[in-house]
Amino acid sequence: MTKIIGLTGGIASGKSTVTNYLRKKGFKVIDADQVVHDLQEKGGALYQALLDWLGPDILGQDGQLNRPKLAELIFSSQDNLDKSARLQGAIIHQKLAEKRDELAEQEEVFFMDIPLLIEQDYIDWFDQIWLVALDKETQLQRLMDRNTYSKDEAAARIASQMSTDAKKKVASHIIDNSGSLEETYQQLDDLLDDLLAGLKGAQSGS
């Protein structure tokens, strides 16, 4: 039976580091952010939905979505955040379900990286949920460094999300990404060993 593992974590938590490592280990990872990006390309389902909602001001000269402008508008108010989640949620859910079902026919184990896995109620899709977490100060500094945000801008982005502590209550396993890459990779190796041993045991017992 296929095992599907959900990956999640807050902004700048280091999910890309984790997914890159998993891919190097030979595992398939469905990246929800990439799925959304593809759906937001000109002519895509999300592109049209966002254009109908926010109007042509969100487009660049090339007719594609101006992503910084789009993010600015969506994060400008809680109402916009809520409407964005509702508007895009159903379209994204359908596409992710298609990709999940396709891989479930091909892979013994695979991962789905969904930043809003808990908030948008994908929990029941997964056999395990792995949370990439780090301390608040490290998260703030990494977000400032990555996106050239001011401290207030970075703090506002983090505050707009579900807290890491709340996510920990739902997670099956927590990957602490506050330290070195080697420390993160060791945690992943241990989790993968346990996962594959469990699969082997289930197969031998069947």
* 76 marked as part of a ligand binding site: no
* Percent of the chain whose predicted confidence (pLDDT) is above 90: 89
- Residue 202 pLDDT > 80: no
The strand pair at 109-113 and 28-31 is best described as parallel
Average pLDDT of 171-191?
Answer: 97
Q: Express each pLDDT in 67-126 by its tens digit.
A: 999 999 999 999 999 999 889 888 999 999 999 999 999 999 999 999 999 988 899 999
180 is in an annotated binding site: no
Q: Which residues have C-beta within 8 Å of that of residue 165, sequence separation ≥ 6?
A: none
Write out the residue range of the structural domain in which residue 166 sits.
3-199
**Whole-model pTM?**
0.85
Does 171 appear as a known binding residue?
Answer: no
pLDDT of residue 111: 98
Q: Is 60 annotated as a binding residue?
A: no
The model's confidence at residue 205, banded by pLDDT at 50, 70 and 90, is: low
Closest C-alpha among 22, 18, 33 to residue 176: 18
Distances (CA, A) of 53 to 9, 50, 57, 58, 98: 28, 5, 11, 10, 25
**Closest CA relative to residue 134, chosen from 150, 124, 146, 120:** 146
Is residue 204 a part of any domain in this protein?
no
Is residue 201 marked as binding?
A: no
118-153 pLDDT per residue, tens = 988 899 999 999 999 999 999 999 999 999 999 999
Residue 40 covered by a domain = yes
Structural tokens at position 5: 């593992």
Instruction: Determine, yes or no, domain membership for 205.
Output: no
Q: Tell me if 6 is assigned to a ligand binding site.
A: no
Helix (H, G, I), strand (E, B) or coil at 130: strand
Count of domains for the chain: 1
Residue 119 sits in a domain of what CATH number?
Answer: 3.40.50.300
The Cα 45–Cα 110 span in angstroms is: 26
